[in-house]
Amino acid sequence: MRTAQPRHYLMCRPTHFDVVYSINPWMDPRKPVDTPLAIAQWESLRQTYLSLGHTVETIDPLPGLPDMVFAANGATVIDGRALVARFRDAERIAEGPAYLQWLREHGFADARTASIVNEGEGDYLLAGEWLLAGTGFRSDPRSHAEAQEFFGRPVIGLTLVDPDYYHLDTALSVLDEKTVAYYPAAFSPGSLAVLQRLFPDAIIATDADASVFGLNAASDGYNVVLPHNATHLIEALRERGFNPIGADMSELLKAGGSVKCCTLELRSAG
Ligand code: ARG
């Protein structure tokens, strides 16, 4: 029997969303972006969370920061403590201070900016007792030690090797404390062996699941919100007793983001 745990999320409305630079292979500034459609898809995701009983807070979007909608990258928040992102790319650096300020003003006094490149929940995913940590494209491997010291949680470093899956949350999804789904081809051989050792019962995503960003999902332990066209993954989740809920995030995918990227989890103390 799977049970849903109410979540506390932070989101950022894509008011200024656009693709005007390219920092991952999905982003093509020549392709038109329909910002009103992105806003509608984001709003529908927010409504889905509210209908599941989750709390959703929002941070004000800042002009000139078209990727700020991807709130997951703003920080990692565990036990009421926040390690705020230090972005790799100049285009996103100003998002860090905005998230730091929001967190400090909303009860997270213990918020601090990472001293080494660290893209928040894009690369850091809490799975039970372990903090899974991606590297290879964005977060610096040395940021793993900083995160372990800050949170006092064992950090498991995982190396990503496929530029299409440049953040850990594009290649792996935490479904509950013990269950994950992942796309094997996104990981180095050693990291894949680590995943097989830690999660022998994991759901294995197909090429098709990964290519629609099916792993970029938000789970509450029972309900799993994910891109609606990840059909194999949706079926696999259902077979394992989860309740998959499809979302259309096609506009946000033009920037290399989807459901999870738009969602930062705020985990309070205790
Ligand atoms: N355009 C953004 C970037 O490349 C997308 C970030 C997606 N966020 C995520 N959590 N994977 O930085």
**Residue 173, token pair as written in the block:** 């999804």
Cβ atoms of residues 130 and 198 within 8 Å: yes
Average pLDDT, the chain: 98
**What pLDDT was estimated at residue 186?**
98
Q: Which CATH superfamily is domain 8-265 in?
A: L-arginine/glycine Amidinotransferase; Chain A (3.75.10.10)
In the chain, the amino acid numbered 109 is A
Q: How many helices (H) and strands (E) does the chain have?
A: 7, 15
54 has catalytic annotation = no
- Whether the CB of 72 sits within 6 Å of ligand 1: yes
d(CA 172, CA 151): 21
- φ/ψ of 149, rounded to 5, equals -65, -40
Q: Which of 144, 167, 232, 262 is catalytic?
A: 167
23 pocket-lining for ligand 1 (C-beta < 6 Å): yes
The model's pLDDT over 54-100, given as tens digits with 9 standing for 90+, comes to 999 999 999 999 999 999 999 999 999 999 999 999 999 999 999 99
Catalytic member of 12, 144, 261, 262: 261
Query: 46-61: per-residue pLDDT in tens?
Result: 999 999 999 999 999 9
Q: Does residue 258 line the site of ligand 1, with CB under 6 A?
A: no
- The residue nearest atom 1 of ligand 1, judged by CA position, is 255
What letters, b where the CB count within 10 A reaches 16 and e where it falls short, cover 214-235? bbbbbbbbbbbbbbbbbbebbe
The pLDDT tens digits for 233-250 are 999 999 999 999 999 999
pLDDT score of 189: 98
Ligand 1 atom with the smallest distance to the CA of 27 is: 1
Q: What are the boundaries of each domain within the chain?
A: 8-265
Kindly report whether the global pTM for this prediction surpasses the value 0.90: yes
For residue 196, the CA-to-ligand 1 centroid distance in Å is 26
- Which residue bears the tokens 């709390």? 55
| 73 touches ligand 1 (CB under 6 Å) | yes
Q: How far is the CA of 261 from the centre of ligand 1 (A)?
A: 6
Assign 28 to helix, strand or coil.
coil
- pLDDT score at 1: 81
- 139 has a pLDDT exceeding 90: yes
Report, as an integer, the average pLDDT of 209-223: 98
pLDDT at 187: 99
User: Is 261 known to be catalytic?
Assistant: yes
